[in-house]
Amino acid sequence: MTKPSAKDLSHHLSVEAKSRKNSPLKGAFKYYNKPGITFLGGGLPLSDYFPFDKISADCPSAPFANGIGAQITKDDKTVVEVYKDAAKNDPANHDVNLAKSLQYGFTEGHTELMDFVKKHTDTIHKIPYEDWTAIASIGNTQSWDACLRTFVTRGDAILVEEFSFSSALETAHAQGVTTYPVQMDGEGVIPEALSEVLDNWVGPKPKLFYTICTGQNPTGSCVSEERRRAIYQLAQKHDFIIVEDEPYYFLQMETYTRDEKERQGKHVHSHEEFVKALVPSYLSMDVDGRVLRLDSVSKTIAPGSRFGWIVGQEKLLERFVRLHEVSIQCPSGFAQSTLNGLFQRWGQAGYLDWLIGLRAEYTHKRDVAIDSLYAHFPLEVCTVLPPVAGMFFIVQIDASKHPKFKELGEDPLKVEDAIYNRGLEFGCLMIPGSWFKVDGQTTPPQPQIPVDETHKHTIFFRGTYAAVPLDDLQRGLEKFGQAVKAEFGL
């Protein structure tokens, strides 16, 4: 069965993206390495002068029988060795030799590594249209900056989740783009709310919707397949692009249960089970080519790698390549040679093993965190929403139950502030939800969408189980629970 081609969405390009030209110099590069032509066109230093003969890395070996955090042993390790000289590398490894990775060029990312990434992408998302590709980025923060530069122009408005990653919002705001919040509940953005917003939109419709749909930052929510399909249909109806920023996609977990025994039976065992257990991405339902997926190794391998990739239709990604040529050029060759070296030696199956190991670790961390919340937080004022993905959990608190609620002018934010400070006093820091709240000012202003009255006194705090050892996590949550109790006189 042949797949459909992507729709032409070039009308969504920004003034900046539309105006990018190909350099005439690029035209000359067709003569580079052409037999019979001495090419004196480009200012590339000779690789003879790169002071690196070989780089190497000591890594764990798949399938990580003792867990992904286990100590590497002499007998069980994968050594990545990449030489400058192509001839010294074993062709079976598909390495990116240093003469290539440390040279200029390959804005799209090195072929070997990008082929690995594309194969992985295809395994997970089974993209339903033909002409998709993936290009390298410096990680999702940079990818998102590139999306804004490619699609929006100062004065435009975009759609975002009601609570969102402050840094992503700041990227947009500094570019003069206003962010319009779409109402969320415990399962992320509500399609009906999004539909209402768009039906009542004043002025040119927003070009894109930015969403962290799996293990959302800050709410920890995960949008269900059903909601994703409904939202994708809205994207088709109202012709907008979906940017899915998905660093936490592979930190999906088993659903939380307080039953220790039940937990044992819940792990995924095979690659097939693992892939099947993942919530379908917007990319996987993208028949039009209107989804840009931002992926990276920041949460699966290491954030400081500064390596990520953008998946989308070829015609739109070509504009990103033009942008990257005149800004970041490409991710570091040290990162590309090393990561590619690791991926090639692990293979597709080994990387899935690693991700399965990650799933087990995060499921356990999440369980410890949620157990602690149930044990130490006053459930008469707190609601625990066990996440099924990501690094974050939230505790919702009914501010109206605060003994001084009236004195505080019935302002939930004052209660939030008091709890934050009380937490610090007791020795634990969690982030107030209001810090992530998106203000909805756009030009022109949009009609007021009715507010959910039942939740107007609900505040929340965001915590993470990712960054601290488990005993610290338990101790910290106990302290924060005591702080909440003290604040509410419980």
> At residue 269, what are phi and psi to the nearest 5 degrees?
-115, -35
Is-contact 116 349, C-beta < 8 A? no
Of residues 51 through 110, those in contact with its own copies by CB under 8 A are: 51-60, 68-69, 72, 77, 98, 100-104
User: Does 258 engage in binding with its own copies (CB under 8 A)?
Assistant: no
User: Does 128 engage in binding with its own copies (CB under 8 A)?
Assistant: no
User: Does 342 engage in binding with its own copies (CB under 8 A)?
Assistant: yes
Is-contact 3 129, C-beta < 8 A? yes
Beta bridge partners of 209: 159, 242
User: Does 316 engage in binding with its own copies (CB under 8 A)?
Assistant: no
Q: What is the DSSP letter of 205?
A: P
Q: What is the DSSP letter of 7?
A: P
- Give 400-404's long-range contacts (Cβ < 8 A, gap of 24+): 400/457, 401/488, 402/487, 402/488, 403/488, 403/489
User: Does 476 engage in binding with its own copies (CB under 8 A)?
Assistant: yes
CA distance 291 to 313: 8
Contacts with its own copies: how many residues (CB under 8 A)? 112
CA distance 189 to 109: 33
User: Does 44 engage in binding with its own copies (CB under 8 A)?
Assistant: yes
Of residues 353 through 382, those in contact with its own copies by CB under 8 A are: 354, 358, 361
Nearer to its own copies, 49 or 92 (CB): 49
Member of 3, 28, 111, 237 binding its own copies (CB under 8 A): 28
Segments in 126-239 forming alpha helices (H): 140-151, 166-174, 191-199, 225-237
Nearer to its own copies, 98 or 235 (CB): 98
Please choose, out of 117-125, 204-212, 277-285, 298-306, the segment that lies near its own copies by the rule CB under 8 A: 298-306
Smallest distance from the beta carbon of 429 to its own copies, in angstroms?
5
Smallest distance from the beta carbon of 129 to its own copies, in angstroms?
28
Smallest distance from the beta carbon of 45 to its own copies, in angstroms?
6
Member of 12, 334, 371, 383 binding its own copies (CB under 8 A): 334
Binding mask 182-221 for its own copies (x = CB under 8 A): -----------------------------------x----
Cα–Cα nearest to 441, from 50, 171, 177, 101: 177
Please choose, out of 115-123, 141-149, 397-405, 451-459, the segment that lies near its own copies by the rule CB under 8 A: 141-149
Of residues 157 through 186, those in contact with its own copies by CB under 8 A are: 166-168, 170-171, 173-176
Q: b/e string for 203-237 if b means 16 or more Cβ within 10 A?
A: eeebbbbbbbbbbbbbbbbbbeeebbebbbebbee
Smallest distance from the beta carbon of 257 to its own copies, in angstroms?
23
User: Does 469 engage in binding with its own copies (CB under 8 A)?
Assistant: yes
